[in-house]
Amino acid sequence: MALAAGAAWGGSSLDDLAAVVPASSEAGIIGLPGLTMRRLMQPVREHGIRFANVAEVDLSQWDIRTVSAQRVLRKPLATLPELMQASPGAVAGINAGFFKIGERPVFVGYYVEEGVLVPHQQGPKRIFFIGADGKAGVARSADAVPQGVRSAVAGFSGGGKDDPTARSAVCITAAGTVKLLAVYPVASLVRMTRYLNEAEGCADYVHLDGGGSTQFVLRTEGGVSVGWEREKQCYDGAAASPPECFRKVADALLVFPK
């Protein structure tokens, strides 16, 4: 996890995609074929959650890929908006794996990018992956990851102490779609898991790096660009966070059209 804020996203929206399939907005929902984003206010009152950003992805129409600052920007860390800007075609994204500043390798936990297992430190064991067939899965250990995966990132299954903060997660629903979720605040991973199961219909999940690292971007008309670095102005629920709300991270999960 990092402790420094990054630069703002200066990229434009995907005008070419929007010209073909204009984004529609209704009751907090922004939709493209096979990609739906919901921005929810107080989705689970009993958990104390104030707002959630949820992108649901149909992998028959979209790809989800791990993208690192090291590969696309030739530096160890970058903000999610910077990673999006450096990744042509990326429509949506969320911060992903854990990392350590000033150490090599920077990645903490199993990490695959473009089909290559990247050097990493030992870390969390639960792994979200995109297989050779383009389908998503969750493995309980590195030994359980199938051969030929295109992308993979490690996170937690739960546990930890109570600490109300922003949380990031990726999950697979019973219908086979993938959800990218940035939620604030959630007291613990146990409560986040309950939210994923009860409110989002998640059949399997991985808790990604959270706290000040949590960031979520949707690059369409009416989209959002939000971050929760530990600054007061980052917690007001605005659809576009100021630059100081984006922490530099090692990698992200980005959504691309097929």
| Poorest-pLDDT segment among 37-41, 82-86, 98-102 | 37-41
| Domain boundaries along the sequence of the chain | 15-257
Mean pLDDT of 158-168: 85
Output the CA–CA distances (angstroms, integers) from residue 224 to 29, 55, 123, 137, in the order listed. Answer: 11, 11, 31, 27
pLDDT digits (tens, 9 = 90+) for 104-154: 889 999 999 999 999 999 999 999 999 999 999 999 999 999 999 999 999
Residue 7 pLDDT > 50, yes or no?
A: no
Following CA atoms 71, 245, 235, 237 in sequence, which dihedral angle do they give, to the nearest 10 degrees? -70
pLDDT digits (tens, 9 = 90+) for 199-243: 999 999 999 999 999 999 998 777 889 999 977 778 777 889 999
pLDDT digits (tens, 9 = 90+) for 22-55: 333 333 567 789 999 998 877 777 777 888 999 9
Q: How far apart are the first and last CA of the chain?
A: 31
Mean pLDDT of 185-195: 92
Residue 173 pLDDT > 60, yes or no?
A: yes
> What is the rounded distance in angstroms from the CA atom of residue 55 to the CA atom of residue 179?
5
Give the pLDDT band of residue 86 (cuts 50, 70, 90). very high
- What pLDDT is attached to residue 28? 59
